[in-house]
Amino acid sequence: MSATHCDVLIVGAGPVGLVTGCELLQRGARVRLVDAERRFTRHSRANVLWPRIMELLDRTDVTRRLVGLGHPVSGVGYYSRGRRIGDVPVDGSTRYPFGLVISQNTVEEVLRARFAELGGTVESGLRLTALDPTAPDGGVLATLEEEDGTVRTLRSNWLVGADGAHSTTRDLLGVEFDGDVVDVSFAVADAPVTGAPDDDLTYYCYSPDGGLALGPFGEGVWRLAITVPHQDPGTPPPGREVFQRAVDARAPGHAVVGELRWSAVFRARCRIAATFRVGRCLLAGDAAHITSPAGGQGMNTGIQDAVNLGWRLAGVVDGSLDEEVLDHYDHERRAAAHFVARTTTAQTKWGMARTPRRILLRDGLFHLAHRTGLLRRTVTPLVSQLGVRYDTPASSRSHAPGLRPGDRVPLPLTAVNGRRLIARDEPGVLLWPGRARPADWERVRERLRKELAGLAPLVEPDALVRRRLRSVLGGRPLAVVVRPDGHLAAAVPPEDPDAVVGALHRLGVRHDRAGRTPDPTPTGGTR
């Protein structure tokens, strides 16, 4: 190991660790990313990215690469005993109005390439064996063991445990990992399937014998997942005939499963860490929470963790944000994990209905919700993850008619025509003129620029963006405080600079930043 100290040590080089690493490297943090035994394998359970995650991955400039490698779908179709009972379309209010069926392995390959472009190196074969979160210098002292048994020590200011469901980081910190609300075994395989339904959707097919999930990779290859009885360790993975029987009994039509490319069985449980932060150590992804695979939310939820943590930790490292923002990470993402656990557990239980009465009730309610549009209004935001919102302090305010504090602001998180509408690296302020008279707006805008000089980047939308935002921001002039991940902090009258400053300080922006040099790119460009 070439150095003995860094700003942030990340343990685990899966998608969550890699996204966290990219977020930090983009801000100039010194990052070390180690992984005990990361090996690319075909046995990858995660296989879908939803629209909100593709928006967030725009921050690290990988979404277009991923889209070019995956298979888009327009939503989810639900069947019971071979009959269609409803559809859940993907939310269209985004630059990415589709789900992307793509192997987790492919996602990792793209993220590794981006991590390397940013100057990072994945140090494989290094296992975390001991951890002192209260090192004398105020940082974290980690003991790492190489494959040949050589022991190294590394000091870091911060440590992120993204080392999976069996997290060594979590165990060494003594964090409880409770749950087991649902305990189901799934057999998973990738295989060519002929006679399959339209590959424009992913599918959940229910039957009294169990559930079946189908996800199209394109070109006739599908991911198949079926519920099976729990198996003893060492039991050989299921063969083609097991999946064919499940498809015959549970799927619509007469699909034929070809030769399996791989298969495996895993036991799905639901557990969430008691805390995501212990001093200078933080947990993310499966190290912090595991939930039912129903709905394909696992990898997506972990990437949400990585982005939520990344901008906060980068700001703490460079001194622009107060350390308390990391407590906000713990609060927000634990609440989100509990919500995902409840919804995915409910979906798993839907598929476990066995008695005629329960099946009739489930199918009837599902069909009614589909016909009335209830599925579109309630389930679509959950599946797309565009409905994720965060609780905010009671003092947070929003005078925007279509947005509450904590909601996602429907703006792209990457540059459009060379301009960013949301600052990538820190909280920013969107100046919304509404229907104000030009002379009045010019006066208010200039006052705000003086009051906020050095505190936050300011941006003004062009005419096209104003048309898109009018339905949620309305006709009243506003100063819209937006987090780097695109969630609303506050929308207040621009004549009240103190309210804007208060919202920025609640986001952790340091009070002493007001004396710093203003952002040289007032249109919100990156620095």
63-102 confidence digits (pLDDT tens): 999 999 999 999 999 999 888 998 999 987 899 999 999 9
Per-residue DSSP letters for 185-252? EEEEEEEEEES---TTEEEEEEETTEEEEEEEEETTEEEEEEEE----TTPPPP-HHHHHHHHHHHSS
The hierarchical CATH code for the domain 393-527 is: 3.40.30
Residue 350 is predicted with a pLDDT of: 73
Per-residue DSSP letters for 313-331? HHHHHHTSB-TTHHHHHHH
Could you give the CA distance from residue 389 to residue 386 in angstroms, rounded to a whole number?
Answer: 8
Residue 479 is predicted with a pLDDT of: 95
State yes or no: pLDDT of 514 exceeds 70.
no
- Per-residue pLDDT, averaged over 355-375, amounts to 86
Query: By three-state DSSP, how is residue 48 classified?
Result: strand
Q: How confident is the model at residue 1 (pLDDT cuts 50, 70, 90)?
A: very low
Residue 357 is predicted with a pLDDT of: 87
Choice among 87-101, 126-140, 195-209, 347-361 with the minimum mean pLDDT: 347-361
Q: How many CB atoms lie within 10 A of CB 450?
A: 9
Domain 184-268 class, CATH top level: alpha beta
253-302 confidence digits (pLDDT tens): 899 999 999 999 988 778 999 999 999 999 999 999 998 777 678 899 99
* C-alpha distances in Å from residue 249, one per residue of 71, 213, 347: 26, 13, 20
Residue 174 is predicted with a pLDDT of: 96
Residue 380 is predicted with a pLDDT of: 86
- Write down the pTM of the prediction: 0.92
CATH 3.40.30 domain span(s) along the chain: 393-527
Could you give the CA distance from residue 19 to residue 281 in angstroms, rounded to a whole number?
Answer: 17
Q: How many CB atoms lie within 10 A of CB 437?
A: 10
**413: phi then psi, degrees, rounded to nearest 5:** -95, 10
CATH 3.50.50.60 domain span(s) along the chain: 5-47+103-177+271-348
Could you give the CA distance from residue 367 to residue 417 in angstroms, rounded to a whole number?
Answer: 44
230-265 confidence digits (pLDDT tens): 888 888 889 999 999 999 999 988 999 999 999 999
- Per-residue pLDDT, averaged over 199-213, amounts to 91
**163: phi then psi, degrees, rounded to nearest 5:** -100, 30
**6: phi then psi, degrees, rounded to nearest 5:** -155, 170
Residue where the block lists tokens 């991940």: 485
Specify the CATH architecture of the domain 5-47+103-177+271-348: 3-Layer(bba) Sandwich (3.50)
Choice among 274-278, 440-444, 466-470 with the minimum mean pLDDT: 466-470
- Per-residue pLDDT, averaged over 24-33, amounts to 97
Q: What is the mean pLDDT of the chain?
A: 89
State yes or no: pLDDT of 354 exceeds 80.
no
CATH 3.30.9.10 domain span(s) along the chain: 184-268
State yes or no: pLDDT of 151 exceeds 80.
yes
- Per-residue pLDDT, averaged over 426-444, amounts to 92
Residue type, position 193, single letter: V
Query: By three-state DSSP, how is residue 453 classified?
Result: coil
Could you give the CA distance from residue 356 to residue 361 in angstroms, rounded to a whole number?
Answer: 9
- Per-residue pLDDT, averaged over 157-183, amounts to 91
